[in-house]
Amino acid sequence: MTDQGDLVVLRPEGLYCPAGDFYIDPWRPVGRAVITHAHADHARVGHTSYLAAAPGADVLRSRLGAIDLQALPYGQTVKHQGVTLSLHPAGHVLGSAQLRIEHRGRVWVASGDYFVSGADGDDGGRNPTCDAFEPVRCDCFITESTFGLPIYRWRRQAEIFAEINAWWAANAAAGRSSLLLAYSFGKAQRLLAGVDPAIGPLVVHGAVAPLNDAYRRSGVMLPPTRTLDEVEQGDLRRALVIAPPAVHGSRWARRLVDPSDAFASGWMQLRGARRRRGVDRGFVLSDHADWPGLQQSIRATGAERVIVTHGYEAVMVRWLRQQGLQAGSFETRYGDEEADDAAATAAVEAPADIVPGAAAGG
């Protein structure tokens, strides 16, 4: 879905701005890349230069190594070839951003991945570990649609954390470790910020620990955590252990004491997802907008044209057209945060002991 003169078009390398000669979260090496956040499906090695939001610069460098990175504070503008660019909070993970592009009186916004509060104004979408999503007015909005089906409606965040705390407390009383599987970048830190540390020790996998440090350096308050090697066996019986999904059933996980396991993801909303995961519990906690959140966010932009990327594109495009909007989709290569986690985990664990999953991040 492109028109001549569009500010963003789809190329084999990724989303491209012809007027500014730069790419947005490209999946092939390019000269100039604007990165919306540091998940590996959006931030890849090999680009000549990078532009990203300042709050996420530490994480981006820790994941990509020595890169030519310009870190731009939220809301600050930069001009390139007559195009004005600015980055605005997306509420997804630390440093996640929407990209605003202005050229010759037209404004487009590329959302990246984003997360918003519930339509009723509750705390269901407020992520305390990053800046909250801010709607940006535009003519055309490029939106994700990871959970773009009516079945995805998130409950209040406080209710989910109450359930997690009760599960953990019951396990601790029975002398069992509580293994909570969650994506190492973003979800793990949100869980740490929301659980009750008075219940017992907080233990994290080696793939999670350096990301916690990056969050703390950025000013995000997280409770103290230890790695598995730093915990006595007796403390493990009361511990909440947060680890990437790729460790499930691994040699590392078998070091825990009679563990009860759970998975925290928006995919737990689906019937049968917990069974397929083979875990005791599933907690529906996502860092992406749900169906009402997507609708709410799109309306808030005031855009008359919407382009849908990864997720349930066809459903969202049909709904948008029913609302009288001009809508279409871009076929992108985003959406596999679990592969991101598996790669990070394999860097810490013995490769033969890790079996990557196939589901997209949630």
Domain boundaries, the chain: 9-152+287-331, 157-283
What pLDDT digit, counting tens, does each position of 38-86 carry?
Answer: 999 999 999 999 999 999 999 999 999 999 999 999 999 999 999 999 9
At 120 the pLDDT is: 45
Alpha helices in 207-287 (DSSP H): 209-217, 233-236, 273-277
At 106-153, the pLDDT tens digits run 999 999 999 997 544 455 457 899 999 999 999 999 999 999 999 999
The domain 9-152+287-331 is placed in CATH, from the list 3.60.15.10, 3.20.20.80, 2.130.10.10, 3.10.129.10, at: 3.60.15.10
Residue 170 carries which side chain, given as an amino acid letter? Answer: A
More confident residue, 307 or 359: 307
Tokens linked to 262 = 């759970």
Residue pair 115/125 in contact by the 8 Å Cβ criterion: yes
Nearest to 137 by CA among 172, 100, 173: 100
- Separation CA 66–CA 271 (nearest Å): 43
Over residues 152-170, the mean pLDDT reads 96
Q: 90 and 97 in contact (C-beta within 8 Å)?
A: yes
Mean pLDDT across the chain: 91
Residue 320 phi/psi, 5° resolution?
Answer: -60, -40
Evaluate whether 17 touches 101 at the Cβ level (below 8 Å): yes
| Whole-number Å distance between alpha carbons of 125 and 113 | 13
pLDDT digit string (tens) for 293-319?
999 999 999 999 999 999 999 999 999
Which of the residue ranges 141-145, 266-270, 300-304, 358-362 would you say has the lowest mean pLDDT? 358-362
Domain 157-283: which CATH number of 1.10.286, 1.10.10, 3.40.50, 3.40.120: 3.40.50
